[in-house]
Amino acid sequence: MGFFDRLRDGLSRTTQQIVDRFDDIVRRADDEAERAKPIDVDTVEALEELLISADVGVAATERIVAAVRDRARRGESLRELVKSEIRAIFDAVEPVASGNGHTPHVTLIVGVNGTGKTTTIGKLANLLKSSGKKPLVCAADTFRAAAVEQLEIWARRAEVDIVRAREGADPASVVFDAIQSGRARGRDPILVDTAGRLHTRANLMGELEKIRRVAARAAEGAPHEVLLVLDATVGQNGLSQAREFTGVAGVTGIVLTKLDGTAKGGIAVAIAHDLKLPIRYIGVGEGIDDLVPFSAQEYVDALFQDKW
C-alpha cells in the first residue's frame, strides 16, 4: 500500500464525518456562484461548524472562513479555496534546522504517558533503518520498568541496538552512555525515550532540562531534535501540552499518533496554525510500518478524499 493510500485509510474516520457534509456545502456555494450571488451566511456557518467539528481549531477555522469570504467573491471554487488555505497554514511553518551535520544525531522523544511515545520510537527506528540509517534507541525512562521492556520488544522487532540501565538509574547518565556507545558502534541517529510526564509536574519537566544539558556535553549541539508525541484523539487538549513542553524541552517537531482512531484528524491544522511547529511524522495504525513522514499536500488531499 502506497503512502497516500495508507494516509487516506488512517484518516478514514475523519473523512467519513466530513466528506458528505463538505460536498453539500461545496454544491451550495457553487450554486450561489453560478447565480452570481455572494456566498451566504448559512453556507459560511455550515463550513465553520464542519471545521470546528473536525478539530481544526477556532483560530485556524476563523482564518479559513475569512479567506473564503474574501476570495469567494472572485468566483473561485470553495473546495479549492479551503484546501489552498489549509496548505498555506502548513506552508507558513518554518522547519527547524537541526543537527548541523553533527554525528551522532541525537533526538529526544518527549510526551505524556499514553500518547504512544515508546511505540513511536520503535516505529521511527524501523522507518529510519529502512532508509539506510543505523539507529540506536536509548531507554531513558528508568522510572517505569515496563517502559524499558516495551522498548526492548520494539528494538528487537526493528532489529536495532538498545542501551538501557537498571531501574531507577539517573536518566541523564543513561543518555550520556547511549551517545558514547552510539559513537563507538557507529550508530546514528540516537533516539532517546524519556519518561512520560505530565507537563504540569515541575520536577519531571526539570529532569528534561538536565537531560538536555548532559546530552550537550556528550555531543556537540545535542539534542539536535526534540520530537513531542501527541495523541490525536485528545484533540485541542494536546495543544496545551505542546506549549508547556516547548517552553521546557525546546520542541522542534511533532509526531501525531492515533490518527486512525479519531474522527478529529483536523487537529494537524490546529497544531500548525497555533503552535507554528512542523509535524514530522504521523501514526496511522498499530503496525511497525504505520508511522509515515508527514506531507501537507497529501494530508489535505486525503482529508478531502481527493487523490492527485
CATH of 106-251 among 3.30.465.10, 3.30.365.10, 3.40.50.1970, 3.40.50.300: 3.40.50.300
Mean pLDDT of the chain: 85
Q: Using 50, 70 and 90 to split pLDDT, how confident is the model at 250? A: confident
Give the pLDDT confidence of 151-177 residue by residue, as tens digits: 999 999 999 999 998 777 899 999 999
Omega cis (within 30) before 135: no
pLDDT of residue 200: 55
Task: Give yes or no for residue 307 having a pLDDT over 50.
Answer: no
Task: Give yes or no for residue 1 having a pLDDT over 70.
Answer: no
Give the pLDDT confidence of 284-296 residue by residue, as tens digits: 888 899 899 998 9
**To which H or E segment does residue 239 belong?**
helix 237-249
DSSP code for 95:
P
Domain boundaries defined on the chain: 106-251
Q: Could you tell me which residues come within 8 angstroms of residue 149 by beta carbon, excluding any fewer than 6 positions away?
A: none
For residue 256, what are the β-bridge partners? 230, 282
Q: Is 20 exposed, middle or buried (0-12, 13-18, 19+ CB in 10 A)?
A: exposed
